Amino acid sequence: MIFNSWVFGVFFFIVYLIYLRCGHKGQNRLLLLASYFFYGFWDYRFLVLLLISTVVDYMVGLWLEDTRDTNIRRRILAISICANLGILGYFKYCDFFIQSFADLLRLMYITPSVHTLGIILPVGISFYTFQTLSYTIDVYRGETKACRKFFDFALFVSFFPQLVAGPIERAGHLLRQIESPRILTFEKIQSGLWLILKGYFIKVFVADNLARMVDPVFASPNPSGAQALLAIYAFAFQIYGDFAGYSNIARGISHLMGFDLMVNFRTPYLATNPSDFWKRWHISLSSWLRDYLYISLGGNRKGEHRTYLNLMLTMLLGGLWHGASDKYILWGLYQGLLLIAYRWAPGVVNIKVNIPKFLQMIFYFHLTCFGWLIFRCNSIDQIGGFITKILTSFHWTIDTTHQCIAFLVLVLPVVFLDFIEEYVSGPDRFPRWNFAVRYATYAAMMLLIYVLGSRGGIQFIYFQF
Annotated catalytic residues are 322
**Residue 90, Cβ neighbours under 10 Å: how many?**
13
Question: 3-state DSSP call for residue 432?
Answer: coil
Taking the C-alpha atoms of residue 171 and residue 268, their distance in angstroms, rounded to an integer, is 25
Among 107, 108, 110, 183, binds another protein (CB under 8 A): 183
Listed ranges 3-11, 106-114, 167-175, 243-251: which one lies at the site for another protein (CB under 8 A): 3-11
Closer by beta carbon to another protein, 16 or else 93: 16
C-alpha to C-alpha distance for 60 and 79, rounded to whole angstroms:
8
Secondary structure letter of residue 423 according to DSSP:
I
Closest CB 399 distance from another protein, rounded Å:
8
State how far the Cα of 121 lies from the Cα of 144, in Å rounded to an integer.
31
Q: Is 184 in the site for another protein (CB under 8 A)?
A: yes
Cβ 196 vs Cβ 248: under 8 Å: yes
Number of amino acids touching another protein (CB under 8 A): 37
Q: By CB under 8 A, is residue 410 in contact with another protein? A: yes
213 binding another protein? (CB under 8 A): yes
Pick the binder of another protein from 101, 106, 172, 185 (CB under 8 A): 185
Q: Is 293 in the site for another protein (CB under 8 A)?
A: no
Q: Is 397 in the site for another protein (CB under 8 A)?
A: no
Q: Which residues contact 284 (CB under 8 A, 6 or more apart)?
A: 166, 167, 168, 169, 262, 264
Site mask, another protein, residues 248-277, x = CB under 8 A?
----------x-------------------
> Whose Cβ is closer to another protein: residue 161's or residue 453's?
453
Cα–Cα dist 221/213, whole Å = 15
Q: Which stretch binds another protein (CB under 8 A): 263-271, 299-307, 381-389, 401-409?
A: 401-409
Whose Cβ is closer to another protein: residue 107's or residue 183's?
183
Residues near 150 by beta carbon (within 8 Å), at least 6 away in sequence: 58
29 binds another protein (CB under 8 A): no
Does 407 interact with another protein (rule: CB under 8 A)? yes
Provide the minimum distance between the beta carbon of 259 and another protein in the complex, in angstroms, as a whole number: 13
Q: Rounded CA gap, 57 and 83, in Å?
A: 9
Nearest CA-CA partner of 33 in 19, 53, 49: 19
Considering only 162, 227, 248, 403, the residue that binds another protein (CB under 8 A) is 403
Q: What is the DSSP letter of 223?
A: -
Look up residue 323 and give its DSSP letter. -
CA-closest candidate to residue 410, choices 246, 240, 206, 268:
206
d(CA 325, CA 319) in angstroms, rounded, equals: 9
6 binds another protein (CB under 8 A): yes
Question: Which CB sits closer to another protein, 143 or 399?
Answer: 399
Closer to another protein by Cβ: residue 79 or 406 = 406
What's the CA gap between 109 and 393, in Å, rounded?
39
Instruction: Specify the stretch interacting with another protein by CB under 8 A; choose among 66-74, 308-316, 417-425, 451-459.
Output: 451-459
Contact between 28 and another protein (CB under 8 A)?
Answer: no
Our CB check for another protein shows the closer of 7 and 444 to be 7
**Binding of residue 356 to another protein (CB under 8 A):** no
Secondary structure of residue 192 in the 3-state scheme: helix
Contact 200, 455 (CB under 8 A): no
Binding mask 30-49 for another protein (x = CB under 8 A): -----------x--------
* Member of 405, 437, 440, 443 binding another protein (CB under 8 A): 405
Distance of CA 311 to the CA centre of its chain: 19
Q: Closest approach of Cβ 456 to another protein, in Å?
A: 5
Q: Name the percent of the chain in helix, strand, coil, to the closest 5.
A: 75, 0, 25
Q: Does 190 bind another protein (CB under 8 A)?
A: no
With beta carbons less than 8 A apart as the criterion, state whether 270 and 361 touch. Answer: yes
| Binder of another protein out of 263, 431, 454, 463 (CB under 8 A) | 454
List interacting residues with another protein (CB under 8 A): 5-7, 10, 13, 16-17, 20-21, 23-24, 41, 181, 183-186, 189, 208-209, 212-213, 258, 399, 402-403, 405-407, 409-410, 451-456
